[in-house]
């Protein structure tokens, strides 16, 4: 959530940068400033009324002590009027604050200056590419056919048990999935991230804290009776560890990692591009999160990008990095880099990671602060990245490592799988 002082001090810049998202935010920003001015004026009237009431109460007490009951009773009538006035002002102030917060919740983060303007994902900028795209044999198959051929993932069984988008991993498929999770966690902890095992359901406050609510409410599975939400990513419970926390500057930076299943309704998704593992309602992902000092958060973002690179280099998968344009960047993000792995059998790029800097946007919602060198509380910066999302990584491995004799396991995963080939 944007800070009101920031909006007021940078009105034109905020409107200009939000236009990069193809949003005309002029009216919203003007309404924020108007509501805040109304809030300030109402708060002043309320404070003055309360101060006057306190003064009168003291005067009334003094008059009673002096035996001037008539004068005291006259003043009591005035305090009754003041109580009604301050009650009305309090109600008005609460209404204004609620309206202001509701409006602020609807305004996305201001994109970083490097974010390109664009209308669709086609306008994302490719900034890096690495790895050779393998030449497959003439009978190469897409991963959903490989899964069936080698009996390692059963999409029909998942459909029977739950519905489309909930695959069942079997045998070597399940072991390969587990190997990827363990490998990613090991690499993340070696890089200094502390491993956490996190809840898979969160409350409403957690959803608002990281920005999934109200923006993505329709994409989250909601347990209505308990008003809990199944997590769309470990980012939500992981970042909410720090909700309502004041850190010491010496504690920064903080890095955590965690593996969780993730749940997304993916409403409106259909077509050939969602076949197999390309888009699921339940999938596994290993996440990395950072809480950073504002002065070094973009250095931290670069470090996170470099770390994800190492995972893909070790897996020997061809990949590229995109800087997302204004139309494709997430609601809460100031700058996002997407990693995509090339699916040779499908002849297309598949997104496998997003690494983002949210600057103070989440921290403001979370009230995540640190005490700076001057002893003042300051909002921290939060960052997160997939490290990595498993379905499309697995799809890339199955398709790019297929041979006529079976699917070869990447060397770095063999110690985790215990086998070298799926045949």
- Distance in angstroms (rounded) separating the CA atoms of residues 353 and 334: 16
Tell me the residue ranges of DSSP E strands in 131-245: 153-154, 168-169, 194-195, 201-203, 222-223, 228-230
Annotated ligand binding at 351? The verdict is yes
- Distance in angstroms (rounded) separating the CA atoms of residues 99 and 30: 14
Instruction: Using DSSP, state whether 300 is helix, strand or coil.
Output: helix
- Distance in angstroms (rounded) separating the CA atoms of residues 416 and 187: 13
Annotated ligand binding at 384? The verdict is yes
> Pick from 355, 302, 322: which is nearest to 116 by CA?
322
Annotated ligand binding at 266? The verdict is yes
Annotated ligand binding at 86? The verdict is no
**Distance of alpha carbon 280 from its chain centroid, rounded?**
19
Q: What is the DSSP letter of 384?
A: E
Annotated ligand binding at 422? The verdict is no
Annotated ligand binding at 265? The verdict is yes
- Distance in angstroms (rounded) separating the CA atoms of residues 138 and 84: 84
Supply angle C-alpha 240, 245, 247, rounded to 5: 120
CA distances (Å), origin 228, targets 160, 163, 176, 202, 283:
26, 21, 31, 6, 19
Using the structure block, give the residue that is written with the tokens 């009168």: 56
**Distance of alpha carbon 112 from its chain centroid, rounded?**
16
> Annotated binding site, which residues?
233, 264-266, 287, 351-354, 384
> Annotated binding site for ATP, which residues?
264-266, 351-354
> Annotated binding site for L-serine, which residues?
233, 264, 287, 384
């Amino acid at each position: 959530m944007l800070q009101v002082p920031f909006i007021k001090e940078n009105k034109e810049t905020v409107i200009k940068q939000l236009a990069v998202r193809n949003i005309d935010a002029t009216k919203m920003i003007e309404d924020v400033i108007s509501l805040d001015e109304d809030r300030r004026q109402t708060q002043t009237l309320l404070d003055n009324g309360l101060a006057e009431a306190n003064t009168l109460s003291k005067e009334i007490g003094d008059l009673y002590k002096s035996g001037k009951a008539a004068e005291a009773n006259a003043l009591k009538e005035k305090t009754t009027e003041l109580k009604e006035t301050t009650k009305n002002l309090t109600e008005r102030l609460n209404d204004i604050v609620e309206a202001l917060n509701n409006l602020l919740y609807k305004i996305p983060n201001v994109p970083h200056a490097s974010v390109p303007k664009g209308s669709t994902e086609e306008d994302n900028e490719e900034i890096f590419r690495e790895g050779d795209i393998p030449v497959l044999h003439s009978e190469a198959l897409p991963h959903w056919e490989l899964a069936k051929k080698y009996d390692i993932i059963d999409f029909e069984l998942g459909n029977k048990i739950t519905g489309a988008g909930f695959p069942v991993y079997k045998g070597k498929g399940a072991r390969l999935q587990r190997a990827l999770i363990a490998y990613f966690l090991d690499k993340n902890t070696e890089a200094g991230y502390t491993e956490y095992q996190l809840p898979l359901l969160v409350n409403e406050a957690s959803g608002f804290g990281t920005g999934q609510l109200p923006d993505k409410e329709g994409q989250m599975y909601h347990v209505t009776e308990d008003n809990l939400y199944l997590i769309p990513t470990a980012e939500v419970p992981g970042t909410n560890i720090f909700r309502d926390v004041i850190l010491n500057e010496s504690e920064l930076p903080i890095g955590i990692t965690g593996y969780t299943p993730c749940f997304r309704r993916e409403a409106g998704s259909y077509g050939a591009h969602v076949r197999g593992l390309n888009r699921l309602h339940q999938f596994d992902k290993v996440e990395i999160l950072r809480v950073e000092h504002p002065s070094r958060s973009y250095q931290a973002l670069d470090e996170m990008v470099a770390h994800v690179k190492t995972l893909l280099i070790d897996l020997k998968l061809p990949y590229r990095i995109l800087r997302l344009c204004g139309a494709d960047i997430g609601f809460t993000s100031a700058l996002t880099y997407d990693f995509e792995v090339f699916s040779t059998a499908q002849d297309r790029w598949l997104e496998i990671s997003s690494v983002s800097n949210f600057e103070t946007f989440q921290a403001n919602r979370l009230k995540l602060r640190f005490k700076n060198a001057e002893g003042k509380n300051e909002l921290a910066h939060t960052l997160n990245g997939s490290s990595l999302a498993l379905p499309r990584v697995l799809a890339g491995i199955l398709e790019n490592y297929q041979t006529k004799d079976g699917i070869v396991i990447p060397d770095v995963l063999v110690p985790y799988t215990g086998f070298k080939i799926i045949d």
